[in-house]
Amino acid sequence: MERWSGRVALVTGASVGIGAAVARALVQHGMKVVGCARSVDKIEKLAAECQSAGYPGTLIPYKCDLSNEEEILSMFSAIKTLHQGVDVCINNAGLARPEPLLSGKTEGWRTMIDVNVMAVSICTREAYQSMKERNIDDGHIININSMNGHSVVPQSVVHFYSATKYAVTALTEGLRQELREAKTHIRATCISPGLVETGFAFKLHDNDPERAAATYESIRCLKAEDMANAVIYVLSAPPHVQVGWSGLEDSEGFSKGCSDSGGGLCKAMGMGGIL
């Protein structure tokens, strides 16, 4: 991770869960991290904790509603003005609404499309353009996806969500192909975990907290820190190695996280050579 010290990373959805864990890990490795969310109170608290802990990097909170393109563009403009641009983009923000295909509300579907698909696409485009205009040839775009983007589970409340995650899978592969065509060594990676113990299920089942709690109790889950370790593992790969898709499964059958060193427990599927 030495080559990333002092460089700029954007982490979307950095206020809680996976995003907060990833932001903290990058700051621990000396990166300048712009963490964005609709509310920055928790990011500000995390930034203070990182500073108190003496981490070599910095966490910069930024308020941004990712369902609003103008706010995303303003954020990238501010990053350019204050920090020159983005070297690493972690598209982590995502959400689910319990809206089945046969009876779901259009508003819920649209919200999932806006955050899970459109925001990822816009942030990816702007991050690439930021790298290109500064002749950054070793940047990295990482999409935090889900195993729901590779398999449709028999639960109607997540079928539309799964469709948005399949889109992330396709977007990542399409991005990788376009980066090759552009003859750049900027890398693209999709990390797809099983269930991670965050507040995700409680937001999905916000009217049924017992059901949400049961979701996490029924199986052994990944921790947010496991995902942060996976991101560090991917960023630590040699410049000539492309980690295209990484699936994380637990040692007892559902989700297994990466160890602190990353390599041994992280199953990097589709590991390619030089771009």
18, 257 in Cβ contact below 8 A?
no
Cα(245)–Cα(247) distance, integer angstroms = 7
User: b/e for 74-93, b at 16 or more Cβ within 10 A?
Assistant: ebbeebbeebebbbbbbbbb
Catalytic option among 62, 161, 166, 233: 161
To the query of whether residue 161 is one of the catalytic residues in this protein, the response is yes
Q: Looking at the annotation, which residues are catalytic?
A: 161
